[in-house]
Chains A and B, each alone.
Chain A
């Protein structure tokens, strides 16, 4: 679903109009909640991070200059992503499970097309935090392993292995969900 934010609404929100801000919140909160939930498993933590993110968004709104269509949403997404990563770093909840055995690469056919977005979303949330973070950064933020390694303070090899294991585990979870529903 594409979020459409009018120039008028943005202008009013930039002025600090509370109703416009609330409307902007209502338009974006479900999308940003989904994003935040992909990074953070605990609902209470998701709420705290989202609250901090929105405060930051509203305070920074007066200085925001839209550069094109979708720029505002992209900016908001970036803020929520950064806040989520900051939270994970501060809580030290990134669990990198180092494998002692070498797993073969999972086949490319991750059967996501057979599942609904909600099912895929739930499956991702079940991944360990380290797997989930690397998966999010690699897939949704389109970061390279080098960039992920720099962001999370890990080795590139660790990032690659975490992604490989995240993909394998995600496939397993989805298949289990499929088996459970059948």
Chain B
């Protein structure tokens, strides 16, 4: 309860109105309201230059981070890469004492200078999957050419040198170093499917899926030729392959990816212990963004994001290693407000992001988003995004290179500039 004098004073001026109002006050208000409704040119916004400075800092910071990160090495990733580059079909076959070296159909070098072609005939998936497991699980050392031949017949899997009749369906796989340049177009990727069985080795026959769409998965998943060695050396078509050797010599080989449902578990096929499977985990992305209103409904966002990608790499011996990659990203998107109150903001947006790390990825995304106002323009946001990963450097296999389209959840902190 205030003192009496204060009560009287408040009562005296209750509802008091000024004798005069400031001149042209309404005109000034109206002018500002009109200006707000119009789309003010971006470069005229008060905060444009501040935002530009922030973006510039982010770009410089990201570039610096990228530069510094290049100097450091990701042991696992590089080990995988080196392993892939250094292993060849010949080396694997020669080290595998259970198969005769003379049956080696090609030199199968990894480097582009030594190019070899292997041609395989498409066989039916049903035939391959119908192969009895008991026969295929025989140990490698017992696998001899004759046995291999008979097993193949039993399994009704045709593995022979490409006859002229089926030549049109055959695939030629360039070596690891240069096969990227020759990979099939998107149109043909899903149109052809080749399955092969490891009948000669006596192991549980895995499905090798050579659909073109999986070529991206192949490069680092299996060493060139190591999947082929058993089959090549034990198949009745080896002689024919040898005949075609010269013909195919200028072509390279690559390796298929294994069906993850039928993993290759036999150990000791090669002392090089090649990679047989990659499992790319969904990336985790967090961000720090600024929101820049463009008009009452439209606003831009940009900032900095961090993406963590983890892949499990399984080797033939059964050992697994991890590939961990870190990316600093710069997202930018244009958003449209759908609902807004003091705390909540629901919107839809579209934009892109560049992720920089040991390699660079570009992606486009469309997203609904929800934002919760914390304090002083600072908000938490969550955006379930539909993301399209643009073709980019394929130095490393990651979730981005194996998934062109992906759903993702972006979360982070956002500072909204302006009113």
Residues of A within 8 A of B (CB): 1-3, 18, 21-22, 25, 29-31, 33-34, 37-38, 43, 46-47, 50-51, 54-56, 58-59, 63, 108-110, 112-113, 115, 117-118, 120-121, 138-140, 142, 167
Q: Does A63 lie within 8 Å of B341, measured CB to CB?
A: yes
Instruction: Identify the interface centre among A25, A112, A113, A139: most chain B CB within 10 Å of its CB.
Output: A139
Q: Is the CB of B16 within 8 A of A117?
A: yes
Give the residue name and chain of the B residue nearest to A62 (CB): B340
Task: Please determine whether A140 and B13 come into contact, CB atoms closer than 8 angstroms.
Answer: yes
Docked Cα-Cα span, A55 to B33, in Å, equals 7
User: Among the listed stretches B19-27, B136-144, B156-164, which one makes contact with chain A, having 4 or more residues with CB under 8 Å of it?
Assistant: B19-27
Apart from A33-B21, A58-B33, list 12 A-B contacts with CB within 8 A: A2-B15, A3-B15, A30-B17, A30-B18, A31-B16, A31-B18, A46-B22, A108-B3, A117-B16, A138-B6, A139-B9, A142-B2
How many Å from the CB of A143 to the closest CB on chain B? 10
Across the interface, which residues of A come within 8 angstroms of B22, CB to CB? 33, 43, 46-47, 50
Tell me how many residues of B have a C-beta within 8 Å of chain A: 31
Residues of A within 8 A of B130 (CB): none
Q: How far is the CB of A123 from chain B (nearest CB, A)?
A: 10
A-B contact pairs, 7 of them (CB 8 A): A22-B26, A47-B25, A51-B28, A59-B419, A63-B341, A110-B5, A139-B9
Bound CA span A142–B8, Å:
13
Known pairs A34-B17, A112-B12; A51 contacts B25 (CB<8 A): yes
A-B contact count (CB 8 A): 93
* Complex interface: chain B residues within 8 A of A18 (CB): 30, 33
Whether the Cβ atoms of A120 and B341 lie closer than 8 Å is: no
**Could you tell me which B residues sit within 8 Å of A by CB distance?**
2-6, 8-10, 12-13, 15-23, 25-26, 28-30, 32-33, 36, 340-342, 419
Is the CB–CB distance between B16 and A34 below 8 Å?
yes
Select one of A22, A46, A139 contacting B2, CB under 8 A.
Answer: A139
**How many whole Å from A3's CB to the nearest CB in chain B?**
8
Q: Which residue of A lies closest to B32 (CB)?
A: A55
Q: Chain B contacts of A25 at CB under 8 A?
A: 26, 29
Nearest A-chain residue to B3, judged by Cβ: A108
Task: Give the CA-CA distance A58 to B29 in the complex, in Å.
Answer: 10
Contact A34 B33, beta carbon cutoff 8 Å? no
Decide if A108 touches B5 in the complex (CB within 8 Å): yes
In the bound complex, what is the Cα–Cα distance between A25 and B341 (angstroms)?
23
